[in-house]
Amino acid sequence: MTIDSTSFFLTVSSREKRRKKEVFPYMRLISSVNEMMAWAKEQRRVGHTIGLVPTMGYLHEGHLTLMRRAKENCEKVVVSIFVNPLQFGAGEDYEEYPRDLTRDSQLADSAGVDVIFAPAVKDMYPKGYSSFVEVEQVSDHLCGAARPGHFRGVTTVVSKLFNIVRPDIAFFGQKDAQQLAIIRRMVEDLNMGIAIVGVPIVREADGLALSSRNVYLSPEERKAALVLSQSLKKAKELIAEGEGEAERIRQEIIKVIEAEPLANIDYVQIVDNRFIQPVERLEGECLIALAVRFGKTRLIDNLVMEVSPNDSHDA
């Protein structure tokens, strides 16, 4: 399969023409793939460790937390900003996805980032591009089932970023828990030799998980979206009380969410956190994952729980 259809490149071209060339004296901005590879090669030559934080931009405090963690662990930090068309399906928000490179650069600079890598789509996917990376099984459920092809786009672009930047460590947010599991599987299966660090979810004071898509929410939808963290809190309470049946916990989560009129459930699933496969009982490291729509905005949230057999019983 190739992605050099006329419609695809016309869309890409229109987006790229709107990009403005920015100069940031406080931090290096690289848009060329070859320049990025040359910079990374020089850093490795002098013995510097490189940390990579892959993003699609429109940065928030969650991203800044990733950058700070990278800065603590690596001598050089690269933040990639690339709205990846391959991970958006038909009718999704590729064109509308918020973009502001100047704002993002100022935020990244405040976190001590050394380089922003912001390539053009035509440079990441030249005409005739036809190579893809796909991780099976781990991507079959949750967002993989709801958004066919999404994770193939994610793993393809992340593998390209890994090849371009050649980081020692890459940092990802736990909010995208399935993505994190898939990236770890890819790195292990393909012997990439990169350490993958997952960083806990960053939330607003009222519990809403930070997301670039939160800007889409109306004030009423923003208030309604609190039901996500509230439902996960309910699940945590049930587990603490000894409930171990996944379906019982799942149904209680659904009750909490369905009590909110503006919420439209995409999925509520409980899976093991490594292979993202459904479980009947909570045991080991389990992931409670949600995807819910508020108007046109689809939000995800999750809770990871480590449960031993002695921690739960039949209610």
Does the annotation count 63 as an active-site position? yes
Greatest alpha-carbon pair distance for the chain in Å reads 61
Residues 6+ apart with CB under 8 A from 55: 63, 66, 79, 80, 81, 82
What does residue 139 show for φ and ψ, rounded to 5 degrees?
-100, 10
DSSP assignment of 50-92 equals EEEEEE-SS--HHHHHHHHHHHHH-SEEEEEE---GGG--TTS
CA 149 to chain centre: 15
Spatial distance between the Cα atoms of 232 and 217, rounded to a whole number of angstroms: 20
Determine which one of 48, 63, 141, 150 is catalytic.
63
Residues 6+ apart with CB under 8 A from 261: 224
Residues 6+ apart with CB under 8 A from 141: 178, 269, 271, 276, 277, 278
Burial of residue 310 (CB within 10 Å: 0-12, 13-18, 19+) is exposed
Residue that the structure tokens 């960053």 belong to: 202
Please give the DSSP secondary-structure letter assigned to residue 188.
H
Do the bridges between strand 263-272 and strand 284-294 make them parallel or antiparallel, or are there none, so unpaired?
antiparallel
Phi-psi region of 69 (alpha: psi -120 to 50; beta: other; left: phi over 0): alpha
**Helix, strand, coil share of the chain (percent; to 5):** 40, 20, 40
Half-sphere exposure of 71 (CA within 13 A, CB side): 15
Catalytic residues: 63
